């Protein structure tokens, strides 16, 4: 079960300021989880179309993407099996959802410590002209090994114009010291409709 806490902009800025010297060597790199860049695991299910693929990440890590019943999980590990055992592999959003195919890796030098990925979550209360659920975007910050892999922070990409910057600060300031299963997932910046959807249970 995910525990949630909210972090205001002022508090986040203060923490970011205190850690600015240590964060100077932190940078970003990017990889793809598009099907053409990944290895399909098994065959898609004929019953529900569920799929699993393993994608190359940074520093020898593997990104596991599994889709079932129009919902996805994203996890990371030294190999596919390790990724499948992480807490992130057992964490999903209740509404229909999908993740974008670009992953941002936050790293000190060549050593990544967190990923940031944009997700789209279905909103049944906001249908399009064809009556299909609209979607809302959220950025998910996930911590990496050593230690368990799990969600650290959510940033509502609709309610926060600087969502990417907020997600990077959250990754840099919280991911390495985050304890999966004990610490609450942090809500960074303005809490909008997308956060409501992401935290539905």
So where are the chain's domains? Answer: 4-34+94-198
Q: What is the pLDDT of residue 22?
A: 47
Q: With contact defined as beta carbons under 8 Å apart, do 126 and 133 qualify?
A: yes
Is the pLDDT reported for residue 47 higher than 70?
no
d(CA 36, CA 29): 19
Q: Is 48 or 10 the better-scoring residue by pLDDT?
A: 48
How far lies 9's CA from each of 22, 68, 123, in Å?
20, 35, 26
> Which of 9-13, 60-64, 87-91, 104-108 has the least mean pLDDT?
9-13
d(CA 116, CA 174): 13
Is the pLDDT reported for residue 15 higher than 60?
no
d(CA 72, CA 98): 6
Q: With contact defined as beta carbons under 8 Å apart, do 107 and 115 qualify?
A: no
CB atoms within 10 A of CB 128: 9
d(CA 112, CA 172): 11
Per-chain mean pLDDT for the chain: 89
Asked whether the whole model's pTM tops 0.75, one would answer: yes
Is the pLDDT reported for residue 1 higher than 60?
no
Sorting pLDDT into bands at 50, 70 and 90, what band is 5? low
Is the pLDDT reported for residue 58 higher than 90?
yes
Tens digit of pLDDT for each residue in 180-193?
999 999 999 999 99
Q: Is 161 exposed, middle or buried (0-12, 13-18, 19+ CB in 10 A)?
A: exposed
Is the pLDDT reported for residue 17 higher than 90?
no
Q: What is the mean pLDDT of residues 137-143?
A: 98
Is the pLDDT reported for residue 174 higher than 90?
yes
Q: With contact defined as beta carbons under 8 Å apart, do 55 and 63 qualify?
A: yes
Is the pLDDT reported for residue 26 higher than 50?
yes
d(CA 179, CA 143): 9
d(CA 64, CA 38): 9
Is the pLDDT reported for residue 24 higher than 60?
no
Tens digit of pLDDT for each residue in 65-119?
999 989 999 999 999 999 999 999 999 999 999 999 999 999 999 999 999 999 9
Is the pLDDT reported for residue 45 higher than 70?
no
């Amino acid at each position: 079960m995910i525990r949630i806490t909210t972090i205001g902009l002022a508090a986040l800025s203060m923490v970011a300021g205190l850690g600015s010297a240590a964060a100077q060597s932190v940078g970003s790199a990017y990889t793809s989880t598009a099907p053409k860049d990944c290895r399909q695991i098994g065959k898609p299910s004929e019953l529900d179309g569920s799929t699993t693929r393993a994608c190359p990440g940074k520093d020898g890590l593997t990104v596991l993407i599994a889709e079932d019943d129009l919902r996805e999980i994203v996890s990371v590990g030294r190999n596919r099996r390790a990724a499948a055992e992480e807490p992130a592999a057992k964490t999903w959003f209740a509404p229909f959802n999908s993740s974008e195919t670009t992953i941002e890796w936050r790293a000190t030098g060549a050593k990544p410590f967190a990923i940031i990925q944009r997700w789209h979550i279905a909103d049944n209360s906001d249908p399009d002209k064809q009556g299909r659920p609209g979607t809302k975007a959220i950025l998910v910050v996930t911590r990496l090994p050593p230690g368990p892999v799990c969600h650290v922070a959510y940033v509502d990409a609709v309610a926060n114009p600087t969502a990417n910057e907020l997600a990077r600060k959250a990754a840099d300031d919280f991911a390495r010291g985050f304890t999966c299963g004990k610490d609450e997932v942090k809500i960074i910046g303005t809490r909008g409709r997308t956060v409501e959807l992401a935290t539905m249970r």
